[in-house]
Amino acid sequence: MAMDNRKHINHAGRHFGYSYPKSLSQRLHAAFTPFMVIVAIFVLLRISSIFPFVSLATSPTTIAFALLATFVRLLIAYAFAIVISIPLALLVTRSPIMERILLPVFDIAQSVPVLAFFPLIIVFFIHFGFSDGAAIFVIFLSMLWNIVFSLVGGLNVVPSDIKAAAHVFGIKGGSYVRSVLIPAIVPYLVTGSLLAWAQGWNIIIVAEVLHTYIPGGAVQNDLFGIGSMLVNATANGQNGVFIIAMLAMILLIAFLNFFIWQKLLRYAERYKFE
């Protein structure tokens, strides 16, 4: 029945000359563009004084630095996620026994909500005087499993002929990992990373607002960043700050999408087996 519906939709698509997005980049593009249009309309409505526009209480430079601080946090968390996820994925796919043991463990680990542990993580990092570590760690955890499961999927689809060829030509051990497995997972690393960054941007709204998790906490406990700026601007009724901060964040995400991820997705095509 579902198949029949899809047939009708595809038929209708052809009939009206609309081509449905097939690749991940096309799907992202299709999803992102309407979102941008909605935001633009919303901003225009605010500027045209249909709603009372509140003056900007924070300078644009501060907003830019907040965005940079958040971006650096995401970047550090992502670097850790990459470094940890590749060996984890290689370990899981090392043998069917490893896969049977570790995959359910990873599945449970990724199912546990990261934020449930956030208060404990904060206490731990504040104990060492490194509150930034709490945010980075929670972003890292939210990114990790997207990449791990994507890589495991990629490693499982390396064709058996390729594995056999590597064996016949003496490509073994570290050389096999470097010259066959790592390149083979490039497309999956890119798609996993794309999803991981989306998850990271989602979690940043919570990860920087530490005071809500600290007993008797104040705004001063929060980390300087775009996430905490958005939350505190909303709480204080600073609509101007909220809108500009949100627009800045969307612009950065759009920039990364168009100039980094789209290019990487295209580049990764060359690493795909036919």
Partner 1 sequence: MPNDINLNNMPLIQFAGVSKIFEPEHETALRDVSFEVSDGEFLCFIGPSGEGKSTILQLIAGLEEKTSGAITKPENVSMVFQSGALLPWLTVLENVAIGLTAKGLSEAKARAGSLPYIEMIGLKNFEMKYPRELSGGQRQRVGIARALAVNPDVLLLDEPFSALDPKTTEELHRDIMQVWRDTRKTIVMVSHLIEEAVSLADRIILVKNHTIQKEFTIALPRPRRENEAQFSHEVLQIRREFFK
- Choose the binding region for partner 1 from 118-126, 164-172, 230-238, 246-254 (rule: CB under 8 A): 164-172
- Cα–chain-centroid distance for residue 26? 17
Structure token digits, residue 163? 């594995």
- Choose the binding region for partner 1 from 84-92, 113-121, 154-162, 231-239 (rule: CB under 8 A): 154-162
Q: How far is CA 101 from CA 31, 81, 104, 111, 155, in A?
A: 37, 22, 7, 17, 17
Q: Does 159 bind partner 1 (CB under 8 A)?
A: yes
DSSP 8-state code for residue 171: -
Smallest distance from partner 1 to CB 240, Å: 49
Q: Does 273 bind partner 1 (CB under 8 A)?
A: yes
Pick from 180, 195, 247, 254: which binds partner 1 (CB under 8 A)?
180
Pick from 179, 235, 237, 263: which binds partner 1 (CB under 8 A)?
179
The residues near 257 (Cβ < 8 Å, ≥ 6 apart) are: 28, 32
Q: Does 157 bind partner 1 (CB under 8 A)?
A: no
Q: Does 274 bind partner 1 (CB under 8 A)?
A: yes
Pick from 167, 178, 263, 266: which binds partner 1 (CB under 8 A)?
167
Q: For residues 202 and 90, what is the distance between their CA atoms, to the nearest angstrom?
A: 28
Smallest distance from partner 1 to CB 167, Å: 6
Q: For residues 1 and 206, what is the distance between their CA atoms, to the nearest angstrom?
A: 41
Pick from 38, 45, 109, 165: which binds partner 1 (CB under 8 A)?
165
Q: Does 183 bind partner 1 (CB under 8 A)?
A: yes
Number of neighbouring beta carbons within 10 Å of residue 99 = 17
Smallest distance from partner 1 to CB 90, Å: 18
Q: Does 17 bind partner 1 (CB under 8 A)?
A: no
Q: For residues 246 and 234, what is the distance between their CA atoms, to the nearest angstrom?
A: 11
Q: For residues 249 and 252, what is the distance between their CA atoms, to the nearest angstrom?
A: 5
What residues make contact with partner 1 under the rule CB under 8 A? 159, 161-162, 164-165, 167-172, 175, 179-180, 183, 186, 270-274
